[in-house]
Amino acid sequence: MKELLKDDKLFEIIKSNYGNIAQFISISPKNIEKPKLVVINNLNSYESLNTKSLIMKLIDSSRSGMVNIRSFSKVSAKGHKLHYGKEKKDIEEILQIIKANASNNMYSIINENIDIKDGGVSGVVLGNIIEFSPDDTPKCVEKDGICKFGKELGYMLLKKVYGFVPNINFTKDYRVEFSIHPNKEGVNKEHTILWEYEKFENYNYNEKISWPNNFSKFLGDKVFGLLIADCLGFNIPYTTVISRRVAPFTFGKHTGSSEKWFRTCPLVKEPGKYITKDSWLDPFDTIASEEKKGNQKMNLASVISQESVEAKFSGASIVSKNFKDDIIEGVIGKGDSFMVGLEPSQKLPKNILNKILEVHNKLRSHMDILGNKLSIEWVCDGKKVWVVQLNQLKNDSTITSQHTIVDKHASSFIKFNTDEGLDALRLLINEIKNTDVGIELVGNIGITSHFGDILRQNNISSYISN
């Protein structure tokens, strides 16, 4: 494709069938009374209509009943103010914006407003990566909290959530701004909208994933980690996600059981804080009651129903870049009591340890995108190891002994008896978080228990003394 002006590029996308765009009108600074380009559904003739009349028709044709106004010049295509969500009552303001743009020799693009809070995502595809965020425009890539994937993995994950992949038919040497939507939108009534494209030299970018991010919070931290594990081919119990923001979706593998687990999914990982049950619960009552445990306006992103696994063994692991630093802890049967520190880790049979190590080694093979230290919760039915949680460990500390949780300098340590529970530990952490005081956990618990999770999450110097 030859390099065109921003509005000509949009027109070229539709004309050459490269994809779908939002309905739009563009105005040249040389003539603000008559639009340069007009793409409005079911409008076959517009030569007799002026700019004001066409904007009103565009608003009528938009599902939202609103338009946005962007601007650009021949020498500066990016970085100009976006006027968002203007309605019919704002028509004089819209015309004044166009007039002001023209006085600065700027073109105006007036496009239909497509709701950015409809449950979809917006972002950019460039080379081998895709970056995106919910509740935002493609400019989200200039802000904190974006979600980044290698393009192939990102497309796979988005298909599991939405049922379709972004329809972006450009080669790797193009930067393409896009949005995807649960409802069909735009000129062609499709799920993908293209907003801009630009040619660049092809380059392979780092595909490392980092979470929490805006999309992991949107789905729930637990759901996000399990989706990644499912995309990478790990055994994930068949999962139905009931989310606040997107329609229910499923992923994972059938376990062979007709019984169900019910699990809550907070925006970010909060180990042991919210309910998990080995039977179905009323999701509406549960969310209403569990939300009261949190400190934010919204604490739970979703709930999930999973096919249960016949738990012969259960536990948790820390997976390091060097296999010698791996930690595997678990118990015979269900692991609920172990994870909250009510049951000590037991010696696991060698054949079960070997099965878990196979999972570790597979995770290690993906550390270029997952990071160099991970934690998982797992259940083994005697034949397969099922991953029921996957998280990144972000702090740089190394576990130097079987009792150290976070290896970091501390001027002193406060003793904390694990019988006091997880909520009491959270309160203590809040008191010492910005000091150089550490915590000595007193109790016969595992490093991989939720006590350890919370301390790692907050990067508190800590160890266990029995």
189 SS3 class: coil
pLDDT greater than 80 at residue 79: no
pLDDT greater than 70 at residue 138: yes
Q: Which residues contact 11 (CB under 8 A, 6 or more apart)?
A: 37, 39
445 SS3 class: coil
Q: Which residues contact 244 (CB under 8 A, 6 or more apart)?
A: 298, 300, 301, 302
pLDDT of res. 204: 84
Report yes or no on whether pTM surpasses 0.85: yes
Token pair, residue 193, equals 């909208």
Mean pLDDT over residues 265-275, rounded?
93
What are the residue ranges of helices labelled H in 303-345? 336-339
pLDDT tens-digit profile of 318-364?
A: 999 999 999 999 999 998 888 887 888 899 999 999 999 999 999 99
pLDDT band at residue 80 under the 50/70/90 scheme? confident
Mean pLDDT over residues 40-65, rounded?
92
pLDDT greater than 80 at residue 185: yes
Token pair, residue 249, equals 């979706």
Contact 149, 159 (CB under 8 A): no
Q: Which is more confidently placed, 163 or 145?
A: 163
Contact 94, 55 (CB under 8 A): yes
Determine the Cα–Cα distance for residues 225 and 451; give it in Å rounded to an integer.
20
Which residues on neighbouring strands pair with residue 377, listed in sequence order? 316, 389
What are the residue ranges of helices labelled H in 46-165? 51-61, 91-103, 151-162
Query: Which string of b and e fits 281-294 if b means at least 16 CB within 10 Å?
Result: bebeebbeebbeee
For residue 37, how far is the Cα from the chain centroid?
Answer: 36
pLDDT of res. 1: 47
Token pair, residue 293, equals 């445990």
Query: Please, which contacts does 356-362 make with residues 24 or more away whose CB atoms are closer than 8 Å?
Result: 356/315, 356/317, 356/328, 356/330, 356/380, 356/385, 357/323, 357/326, 357/328, 358/385, 359/234, 359/317, 359/385, 359/387, 360/317, 360/319, 360/323, 360/326, 360/328, 361/323, 362/232, 362/233, 362/234
How distant, in Å, are the alpha carbons of 22, 26, 168, 415 from that of 17? Answer: 14, 19, 11, 67
Q: Which is more confidently placed, 199 or 369?
A: 369
Q: Measured between alpha carbons, how far apart are the two ends of the chain, in Å?
A: 68
pLDDT tens-digit profile of 7-42?
A: 999 999 999 999 999 999 999 999 999 999 999 999
Determine the Cα–Cα distance for residues 97 and 70; give it in Å rounded to an integer.
10
Mean pLDDT over residues 153-174, rounded?
96
pLDDT greater than 70 at residue 399: no
Mean pLDDT over residues 353-377, rounded?
97
pLDDT greater than 60 at residue 390: yes
Q: Which of 159, 272, 148 is nearest to 216 (CA)?
A: 148
pLDDT greater than 90 at residue 396: no
Contact 327, 317 (CB under 8 A): yes
> Which helix H or strand E contains 335, and what residues bound it?
none
pLDDT band at residue 397 under the 50/70/90 scheme? low
Cis peptide before 166 (omega within 30 of 0): no
Query: Which string of b and e fits 435-466 if b means at least 16 CB within 10 Å?
Result: eebbbbbebebbbbbbbbbbbbbbebbbbbee
pLDDT of res. 2: 57
DSSP state for residue 206 in the 8-state scheme: P
pLDDT greater than 60 at residue 245: yes
Contact 378, 316 (CB under 8 A): yes
How distant, in Å, are the alpha carbons of 54, 84, 122, 136, 243 from that of 161? Answer: 37, 27, 14, 18, 10
Determine the Cα–Cα distance for residues 167 and 13; give it in Å rounded to an integer.
12
DSSP state for residue 31 in the 8-state scheme: B
pLDDT band at residue 466 under the 50/70/90 scheme? low
pLDDT more than 70, % of the chain: 97
